[in-house]
A = this chain, B = another copy of it.
Amino acid sequence: MTPQRIAPQALYQEVAERLRQRIFAHELPPGQPIDELRLAAEYGISRTPLREALKVLAAEGLVTLVPRRGAFVSQISASELDAIFDVLAVLEGHAARRAAERLDEEAAKRLRRLHQRLEETARAAAIDAFFEANQAFHAEVLRLANNPFLSSTIQDLRQKIRLSRHHSLYDEGRLERSLQEHRELLAALLEGEAEAAERCMREHLRSGREAIAHLRRDATPTLDTEESS
């Protein structure tokens, strides 16, 4: 009956991963309603694990659960993006400050190596690799800040904009701009200039927000979920 799945992870997690991929591939576009019965039938499972999966994705911000109306692929409005980036800039800025305060030799070495990856992937115009390297660098800054609650809060917010953020590096010139900002940030961190590091990080975030805005102007005229009422 069930050929694969010998020592399976939880079914709902498997389903969540499949849906995640379909959402990121825009096979399920933002705003798309998700028909539980149809999907469950398609996957040959009952509704329970599917609903569990949807709850997980809702917690990640990928889908939105509307009571009695069902699940929809999340859609983020421009104003919501602004609001999230406003908070993220403050938090990541704070992380950079703390990181600069706590920097030691080991950490400096790690940051230099991670930054090196950025330089290399940027020179090769390897966008996906640059994206990865960028993630790693920011993760190291968070690690340095040494505050698990700061980290998890930032992670939660990042997750919400992940869908929007993913393609912004393909924007003309964004990669070079990001690299330059990283150079300045790295310099401030290595010098232990907490104030400057915070400022650089905030600016970096602001710049990232604008890259997305720029993208959207080209792509889609209006994206807002219904906010009128």
Q: List residues of chain A with CB under 8 Å of any chain B CB.
A: 59, 80, 83-84, 86-87, 90-91, 94, 147-150, 153, 156-157, 160
Contact = CB atoms under 8 A, between A and B. Distances in A.
14 contacts: A59-B59, A83-B147, A83-B148, A86-B147, A86-B149, A86-B150, A87-B147, A87-B150, A87-B153, A90-B94, A91-B91, A153-B153, A153-B156, A153-B157
Contacts of A157: 149, 153
B153 A83 contact: no
A100 to B, nearest CB: 15
Q: Which 9 residue pairs of A and B lie closest in terms of their CB atoms, listed nearest first? A: A83-B147, A83-B149, A90-B94, A87-B150, A84-B149, A87-B149, A86-B147, A153-B153, A87-B153
A127 to B, nearest CB: 28
Nearest to A160: B149
A90 B98 CA distance: 12
A178 to B, nearest CB: 23
A150 B89 CA distance: 11
A141 to B, nearest CB: 15
A84 to B, nearest CB: 5
A153 B85 CA distance: 13
Contacts of A59: 59
